[in-house]
Structure 1
Amino acid sequence: MIRHVVLFKFKSGIDWSDPRAQAAERTAAQVGVEVPELHEWRHGRNVSDRPIAYDFLVEGLLDDMDAVGRYLVHPFHQDAITQWRDISNWVMVDVEA
């Protein structure tokens, strides 16, 4: 199993009051429903005010790296990427679970 974790940090001038951030959050919430390769899907806003904190997290559980590859190109996931790319930068990690 592979645990896929992504942390998003808003670009300058973006916060949760921005309608684009709210739309990206709604889309991210549905990725777990729309992408069949995902066994688990979590998402959430950061609640810490520490300066090093990121703003949003998504985390999924997939069978293997082949499943990760299918997840990455899934059209719904691609739509989510497009929304987040406009408003944030991110870091990610895939680890064996």
Structure 2
Amino acid sequence: MIRHLVLFKLNEGVERDDPRVVEGVEAFRALGGLIEELRFWECGWNLSDRPIAYDFAINSAVDDADALKRYLEHPAHQAGVALWREFATWVIADYEF
């Protein structure tokens, strides 16, 4: 199995209630029920107020590298990424477990 982690940082001046952010969160929350390659899916807002903290996180799992590739290329995932690209940056980690 491969764990796919993503941490998002909202751009300066962008707030959680910004309509673009709300749409982006809804798009990502829906992915768990849309993409068959996903074996585990959760996402949510960070609760920490530490300066080094990111704002939003995705924690997911797929069977293998081929499934990860299919997930990343899935149209629903690509649509969500396009939304987030407008108001955030992110870092990822993919590891086997």
TM > 0.5 between the two?
yes
User: How many pairs are equivalent?
Assistant: 97
Q: Give distance in 2, aligned partners of 1:57 and 1:35.
A: 18
TM-score (structure 1 length as normaliser): 0.97
Q: Give distance in 2, aligned partners of 1:13 and 1:22.
A: 15
Please name the residue that 2:71 is paired with. Answer: 71
Please name the residue that 1:61 is paired with. Answer: 61
Q: Give distance in 2, aligned partners of 1:47 and 1:58.
A: 14
Please name the residue that 2:18 is paired with. Answer: 18
Deviations 1:68-94 (A, max 9, x none): 000000000000100111110000000
Secondary structure of the 2:38 match is coil
1:1-97 alignment runs, 5 A limit: 1-97=1-97
Runs of 4+ deviating beyond 6 Å = none
Unaligned runs of 5+ in 1: none
Q: Give distance in 1, aligned partners of 2:52 and 2:87.
A: 18
Secondary structure of the 1:52 match is coil
Q: Give distance in 2, aligned partners of 1:13 and 1:36.
A: 35
Unaligned runs of 5+ in 2: none
TM-score (structure 2 length as normaliser): 0.97
- Matched residues, percent identical? 45
What is the root-mean-square deviation of aligned Cα atoms in Å? Answer: 0.6
Secondary structure of the 2:95 match is strand
